Amino acid sequence: MADHNLATPDIAAPGRQQGAPEPERGAPEPERGVSQPATARWRRRLVVLGLVLAAVNLRPAVTSLGPLLEEVRADLGMSGTVAGLLTSMPAACFALFGIAAPRLARRWGPGAVVCAGLAAITAGLAIRPLVGGTAAFLAASALTLAGIAVGNVLMPVIVKHWFPDRVGPMTGVYSMALSLGTAVAAAVTVPMTDALGGGWRAGLGVWAALAAVAVLPWPMLARHRGGDGDRGRDRMPAAVPSSKAARTRITKSRTAWALAVFFGLQATAAYITMGWMPQVFRDAGVSASTAGLLLAVTMVMGVPLSFVLPPLAARLRSQGPLVAVLGSFGLAGYAGLWLAPAQGAWVWAVLLGVSNCSFPLALTMIGMRARTHGGVVRLSAFAQSTGYLLSIPGPLLVGALYQHSGGWDLPIALMAGLMVPQIAAGLLAGRDRTVEDEIDTGAAPTAGR
């Protein structure tokens, strides 16, 4: 089925001869003296490399800290309250700094902003192991998370801009790389720390080297912002509005709100899983090392499924059925945790890992629910910033219920209960329509548009 939601206006290149074949929609203008196919091929390959390297580095700062948090607290004299603040910082920073991404992209171009974000990730990860106090550690962490936040928002924009006819497959590649980085950091940080001498500073600092490698392709991509005679690939389209009224119109779209709620609830589930699932298993009698492996299994499920789900979602007019299937896996996993957490631990870890693949599905829907590049920018920023803001209370509430009740029945019931509105919001967000239609007409378009 043709992906009509992803079509972009055809603007003829100046000077194109009548009857000559049109350039691929969304493809870069050829540089003078260089054939278009050759230029497009090498630049697209560079974009793919840049996307993969960037995605791999969007989560290790978060998942590498958890296994070493106790050592960090002891060395820096960090209180339990501050440690709780540290675990809630990712969602808060993603919401706060993600809002700024569209304005920065309009001013400098998305490629340049992603490049700067990766440099911030590198700097924060390099500074964090060198500090001697809690305040400086939190500041370095915030710098890292700010870089991740703009990458979160602009990665779908980069995909839509360079690959308008392959949003699903390219989102799959990006999501798979992100899942791989998440899982690897969770699994190897402790063994790598032991191999480097047992100090948390070396164990956390080594991830700065990987982030530095990810920066390398982006300065070249950031140069292509457009100009006289060269519109470039990475310039923010003129369709992105600059007025305050135009920027806020996205809030009039019911689909945008549904996608924001869906994104927020799936993020809530993911952060609850990363933060609390090992403790659920440990309280059920599972050893600490096995609990860590179970978390790694949950995270690694996103690697193959993130490659399969986005292309499948892009072929469907409505992504609602996929939302319902992933939600049912989550409900089954929570039921297992409630009934027999230790006996079926590996099964529940797999089920929750499948459910957590709502993340790449949400990214794909961001690209499909907007028709223009400017629409994707606004929708990505709104859905992710609002969604991460909504996700902040979830892990904290689970911790409070656990401490108050002394067990996991109430927290698991909350997790399962949140899956119901997640499915409902996903069904609404997955309908075949775009935010531009809703903003322009004030009503949803008819089916089969």
Contacts of 99 (CB under 8 A, 6+ apart): 381, 385
Examine the pLDDT at 403 and tell me if it is beyond 80: no
pLDDT value at 137 more than 90: yes
pLDDT digits (tens, 9 = 90+) for 146-167: 999 999 888 888 888 888 888 7
Number of CB atoms found within 10 A of residue 212's CB: 17
In DSSP terms, 227 is beta-bridged to 230
- Counting beta carbons within 10 angstroms of the beta carbon of residue 258, is it exposed (0 to 12), middle (13 to 18) or buried (19 or more)? buried
Query: For the ranges 28-37, 236-245, 390-399, which has the lowest average pLDDT?
Result: 236-245
Most confident range, picked from 219-228, 340-349, 359-368: 340-349
Name the more confident of 232 and 418: 418
Give 309's contacts (C-beta < 8 A, 6+ positions apart): 172, 175, 322, 357, 360, 361, 364
Domains delineated in the chain:
41-236 (1.20.1250.20), 241-449 (1.20.1250.20)
Helix, strand, or coil here: 227? Answer: strand
Give the lowest-confidence range in 87-91, 193-197, 377-381, 416-420.
87-91
Burial, 381: exposed, middle or buried (Cβ in 10 Å; 0-12, 13-18, 19+)? buried
Query: Where do runs of H (alpha helix) occur along 99-199?
Result: 101-108, 110-127, 134-162, 167-195
Asked if pLDDT for residue 239 goes beyond 50, the answer is: no
d(C-alpha 40, C-alpha 33), whole Å = 13
- Most confident listed range (191-205, 212-226, 429-443): 191-205
Please state the pTM of the whole predicted model. 0.70
Q: Is the pLDDT of residue 81 over 80?
A: no
CB-CB contact of 175 with 311 (8 Å) = no
Question: How confident is the model at residue 191, as a pLDDT?
Answer: 84
Please give the share of the chain, as a percent, with pLDDT higher than 70.
82
Residue 10 has pLDDT above 50, yes or no: no
- Is 298 or 396 the better-scoring residue by pLDDT? 298
Model pLDDT for residues 346-375, shown as the tens digit of each residue:
999 999 999 999 988 998 899 889 888 778
For residue 129 the two structure tokens come to 């192991």
- Fill in the amino acid letter for 38: A
* Measured distance CA(378)–CA(157) in Å, rounded: 9
C-alpha to C-alpha distance for 168 and 251, rounded to whole angstroms: 25
Residues, the chain: 449
37 pLDDT tier (thresholds 50, 70, 90): low
pLDDT(417) > 90: yes
